[in-house]
Structure 1
Amino acid sequence: MALNFHQLHIFYTVAERGSFSAAAQALHMTQPAVTMQVQSLEDYFGTKLLLRSTKKIDLTEAGRALLPYARNSIDLIRDTDQAMSAFTKQLKGRLQLGSSLTIGEYVLPRLLGPFGQEYPHISISMKVMNTAQIMEDILNHQLNFGLIEAPVNHPDMHMEAVMSDELMLVVPSSHPLAEKKSVTLDEALQHAVVLREQGSGTRLVMEEQLKKKKIDPVSLKIVMELGSTGAVKSAVEAGLGISFLSVSSVKHEVALGLIKVVKVSDTKFQRQFYSIYLKSALLPISAVTFLTFLRERDLQQWL
């Protein structure tokens, strides 16, 4: 009997999840099938890998020795899929992903067209929602992966930076700052500010940069907090205040002269967009191909 990667994957998932039932749910298998595959792996090595009890699963010494090799085998398969996806132009499949608001509304629509031209047989299903919802759907196996605007820390999630972005100062076209080529951060913050709601990726990036500049976000003259980038843009356009938004999200309004972007001379609000997916999951080739597309293409030509 040859060593079976599928069995290594199942063993790793049981070890990470801590029970056969949790692993079965994660792998969309029955619990007896998971148990049988682990037993077959133990038969192959001729030693026990897991100590079973009514409360939890513990690794034997052999199981602890095998665990990093199982993890490496999953990484190797994922890296192999990624490397070969560049040569596979006739891919078929369904790409299911979740995206946070700014990425889903303003960034991905400009990238999905070029991706679809290159891989016309991959159909795409995208949910636009907040980061917490994306993580919940990934953990429940409703989504393959997600794209989010701020880093998260979860023991079951793999996170990787795949795109860069920058927040810019945006002001009403009739605002006193609109006539200036650049302003300092202190100058900008003398004015009324319209912001995204607490907890949004855009808000977190802005507040982290303010704290680095020794500025307490509470000191801002916040006149309104809104739940979407579109609402913030409308408020700025109406003259209610200034804001800091992704440069990708305001191109249309700037082109129409509805709002203006003003350079902040002493501060840059730069950030990364991240992909997240389960550590124990093997992404479908359609997802691997899309993530490779994001990493390796010059995305600015479309943004």
Structure 2
Amino acid sequence: MFEQQFLVYKEVAETRNFTLAAKRLHMSQSSISLQIQNLENQYGARFFDRTNKGVSLTKAGEIFYDKVREVLNILNNAQQEVSELVEDARSVINLGATLTIGEYILPNILPYLYKERPDLDIKANIANTESIEQGVLERKLHIGLIEGPVPKQKELIAETFLQDELVVVVPYFHPWASRNSVTLAELTEERLVTREEGSGTRKVMEIALEERGLDPSKLNITMELGSTQAIKQVVAAGLGITMISALTLQRKCDHSLFRTLKIQDSPVYRNLSIITLAHSSQTKDERYFINLLHDRELLLSLINEDYCAMEMQCSDEEDRRER
């Protein structure tokens, strides 16, 4: 009972909003208010100052918040350690990944894991950075894999496992196809196909432009798509050019469909990061998975591996193009 109250208290303290806390915990606002009131009555202290703009922690509330976090972390660690002692239990990792990682890295890692660790189940959720971050904070995800800027949350630990380059991609018949590089300023002259606003790839591109004194609003964005694969198909059809991750162009057929151009001004890189909950111990299986991501030589060999199904699909696309 008290664990539920502590979870409610922690959510209200971090969101500073009863309505938002209720939404995140899938509870009614009246139930949230009642549990906070019961806690204040139980400890004989007012933990929140309530105003029309929201709530703020009192001095007593700040002290109690720190203790609540400690208790919840202890309980979570105890649960994980006890779970590891259960014999013959199949190991499960609830994993969250953003789109580029989920589409182009995980599919090559999972067959390797299935072969090396058949006892390990990976339950993957592909979503945007904000959803992955929230999933880790709410302990629904054990590990999050994100691209681009890392969240500024003291509850989270972020560590880079790979660096990814953004490149300009044009169809093989484009006038730029014979070039090796372009400037960012030249992008304003072309029809641009991009990811939707809020995506990690889009954000990194906009930051790169701003850092070089260019206004992202000057780009001639003619199409926004929620999938890198969809963007590649549109570009291959000659409906525009794009700026996407070099990791998404590793398959053999990509080399015949597209030409990849580097940024002349200076290369645009972004970090691919692992996010986990701070003050929370990891199981041996979670550590195994994280160590795999940090094995750069192995990771790159898996990412660059082409599977037969991919090659067959690419051959079909090439045949259709030649016809």
Answer whether contact 2:47 2:59 (CA < 8 A) is retained. Answer: no
Superposed displacement of residue 172, structure 1: 0.8
Structure 1: which 5+ runs fail to align? 1-11, 27-49, 82-89
Moved over 6 A (4+): 12-19, 56-60
Q: Would the alpha carbon gap of residues 188 and 58 (structure 1) be closer, same or farther in structure 2, given more than 3 Å must change?
A: closer
Superposed displacement of residue 258, structure 1: 1.3
Answer whether contact 2:97 2:145 (CA < 8 A) is retained. Answer: yes
Answer whether contact 1:13 1:280 (CA < 8 A) is retained. Answer: no
Using the alignment, how far apart are the partners of 2:105 and 2:45 within structure 1? 48
Superposed displacement of residue 129, structure 1: 1.3
Using the alignment, how far apart are the partners of 1:178 and 1:270 within structure 2? 22
Q: Which moved more, 1:234-243 or 1:131-140?
A: 131-140
Using the alignment, how far apart are the partners of 2:209 and 2:240 within structure 1? 18
Answer whether contact 1:253 1:259 (CA < 8 A) is retained. Answer: no
Answer whether contact 2:136 2:277 (CA < 8 A) is retained. Answer: yes
Q: Secondary structure at the match of 1:120?
A: coil
**Residue in 2 that maps onto 1:184:** 183
Using the alignment, how far apart are the partners of 2:266 and 2:206 within structure 1? 12
**Residue in 1 that maps onto 2:103:** 105
**Residue in 2 that maps onto 1:168:** 167
Q: Higher RCO, 1 or 2 (CA under 8 Å, sep at least 6)? A: 1
Using the alignment, how far apart are the partners of 2:45 and 2:290 within structure 1? 38
Answer whether contact 1:165 1:247 (CA < 8 A) is retained. Answer: yes
Answer whether contact 2:187 2:219 (CA < 8 A) is retained. Answer: no
Answer whether contact 1:182 1:264 (CA < 8 A) is retained. Answer: yes
Q: Secondary structure at the match of 1:151?
A: coil
**Residue in 2 that maps onto 1:301:** 301
Answer whether contact 2:150 2:158 (CA < 8 A) is retained. Answer: no
Using the alignment, how far apart are the partners of 2:138 and 2:150 within structure 1? 17
Greater per-residue helix proportion: 2
**Residue in 2 that maps onto 1:271:** 270
Write the mapping of 1:115-154 to structure 2, written as runs, cut at 5 A: 115-153=113-151
Structure 2: which 5+ runs fail to align? 1-5, 14-20, 26-42, 50-56, 82-87, 304-323
Matched to 1:114, the amino acid is Y
Using the alignment, how far apart are the partners of 2:212 and 2:253 within structure 1? 28
Task: State how many pairs are aligned.
Answer: 264
Q: Would the alpha carbon gap of residues 15 and 277 (structure 1) be closer, same or farther in structure 2, given more than 3 Å must change?
A: farther
**Residue in 1 that maps onto 2:288:** 289
Superposed displacement of residue 256, structure 1: 5.3
Using the alignment, how far apart are the partners of 2:235 and 2:180 within structure 1? 18
Answer whether contact 1:195 1:224 (CA < 8 A) is retained. Answer: yes
**Residue in 2 that maps onto 1:45:** none
Using the alignment, how far apart are the partners of 1:105 and 1:156 within structure 2? 29
Using the alignment, how far apart are the partners of 2:136 and 2:125 within structure 1? 12
**Residue in 2 that maps onto 1:96:** 94
Q: Would the alpha carbon gap of residues 124 and 259 (structure 1) be closer, same or farther in structure 2, given more than 3 Å must change?
A: same
Superposed displacement of residue 211, structure 1: 0.7
**Residue in 1 that maps onto 2:38:** none
1:129-148 Cα offsets, whole Å, 9 max, x none, are 11222233333332212111
Superposed displacement of residue 280, structure 1: 4.5
Superposed displacement of residue 234, structure 1: 1.1
Q: Which moved more, 1:95-104 or 1:124-133?
A: 124-133
Superposed displacement of residue 193, structure 1: 1.1
Q: Which moved more, 1:143-152 or 1:100-109?
A: 143-152
Using the alignment, how far apart are the partners of 1:138 and 1:282 within structure 2? 13
Answer whether contact 2:195 2:227 (CA < 8 A) is retained. Answer: yes
Using the alignment, how far apart are the partners of 2:239 and 2:58 within structure 1? 59
Answer whether contact 2:159 2:275 (CA < 8 A) is retained. Answer: no
Answer whether contact 1:254 1:260 (CA < 8 A) is retained. Answer: no
1:210-248 Cα offsets, whole Å, 9 max, x none, are 111101011112111111111111111111111111111
**Residue in 1 that maps onto 2:204:** 205
